[in-house]
């Protein structure tokens, strides 16, 4: 069966499935990034939709309701991963400010904005962990299971996303904790030195020291960061179960 006949056969199911898949993919790292060509994003969504059409069951009695449910479920599943990515970006911005790199912004093609130089690095690490754990497989499985729901419980899904969003600040703090602790110790030490030696120009010593020590401890804390992010990515499965149960 070619693509045209497949779409014609399941024409009633195509729109709700495509909307649910495309909205979810818009939040997936790298796939939904702005640097990814629109043709590629649409092609991936279309290919995944064609794979799901023969195996999912869509409520075709009320097409408008099916489209709304597809939009809501796809958005909820996408937000569950976007919360983790936003926490990683927040942590990177904190480190940028602490190291004095807040003004050294570069264009981040993933989001189409100018962010700190470390934000792009941390975001790439988060994407590597995401795909190494095969989290995209869990999202495809979640999309498939979501069509088995006979009734979408909007309140429970919305409440589950709100509860899951509470992990954003703790995750960002855990990522930045080693670097922030070292920077705080260095700043305190520079404060004591400035009191003991007021004639010394502490600024010209503290700034490069903060940058070099920060980069050194960033490298040392990468294994910790990867382990913490991996644990939160694995916990996304619980959030997907709340949405699709």
The mean pLDDT of 4-13, rounded to a whole number, is 62
* Tens of pLDDT, residues 126-184: 888 888 888 878 887 777 777 777 677 777 777 777 777 888 888 888 888 888 888 88
What's the rounded mean pLDDT across residues 76-96?
A: 84
| Spatial separation of the C-alpha atoms in residues 184 and 44, rounded to whole Å | 46
Predicted pLDDT at 74: 81
Q: What is the mean pLDDT of residues 217-221?
A: 86
pTM above 0.85, yes or no: no
107 pLDDT band (50/70/90 cuts)? low
Q: What is the rounded CA–CA span in Å between residue 178 and residue 191?
A: 20
Nearest to 230 by CA among 142, 94, 126, 77: 126
Number of domains in the chain: 1
Higher pLDDT, 111 or 195: 195
2 has a pLDDT exceeding 80: no
- Structural domain range at position 58: 3-244
Has residue 103 got a pLDDT over 60? yes
For residue 146, how far is the Cα from the chain centroid?
21
- Stretch 57-66: mean pLDDT, rounded? 72
Region for 59 from its dihedrals, namely left if φ exceeds 0, alpha if ψ lies in -120 to 50, beta otherwise: beta
Residue 8 is predicted with a pLDDT of 58
Distance in angstroms (rounded) separating the CA atoms of residues 201 and 191 = 11
For the cut 70, the answer to whether the pLDDT of residue 40 exceeds it is yes
Phi, psi (rounded to 5 degrees) for 182: -65, -40
The mean of the pLDDT values for the chain is 78
The pair of structure tokens assigned to 228 is: 């913490």
């Amino acid at each position: 069966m070619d693509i045209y006949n497949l779409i014609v056969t399941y024409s009633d199911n195509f729109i709700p499935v495509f909307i649910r898949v495309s909205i979810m993919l818009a939040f997936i790292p790298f796939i939904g990034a702005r640097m990814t060509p629109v043709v590629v994003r649409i092609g991936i969504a279309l290919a995944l939709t064609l794979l799901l059409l023969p195996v999912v069951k869509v409520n075709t009695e009320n097409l408008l309701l099916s489209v709304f449910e597809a939009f809501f479920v796809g958005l909820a599943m996408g937000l569950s991963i976007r919360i983790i990515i936003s926490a990683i970006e927040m942590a990177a911005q904190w480190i940028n400010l602490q190291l004095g790199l807040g003004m050294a912004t570069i264009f981040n093609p993933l989001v189409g904005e100018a962010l700190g130089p470390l934000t792009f690095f941390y975001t790439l690490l988060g994407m590597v962990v995401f795909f190494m754990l095969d989290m995209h497989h869990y999202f495809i499985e979640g999309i498939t299971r979501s069509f088995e729901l006979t009734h979408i419980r909007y309140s429970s899904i919305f409440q589950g996303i709100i509860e899951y969003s509470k992990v954003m600040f703790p995750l960002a703090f855990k990522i930045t904790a080693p670097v922030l602790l070292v920077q705080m110790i260095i700043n305190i030490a520079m404060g004591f030195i400035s009191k003991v030696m007021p004639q010394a120009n502490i600024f010209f010593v503290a700034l490069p020291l903060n940058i070099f020590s920060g980069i050194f401890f960033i490298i040392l804390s990468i294994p910790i960061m990867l382990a913490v992010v991996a644990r939160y990515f694995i916990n996304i499965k619980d959030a997907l179960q709340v949405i699709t149960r």
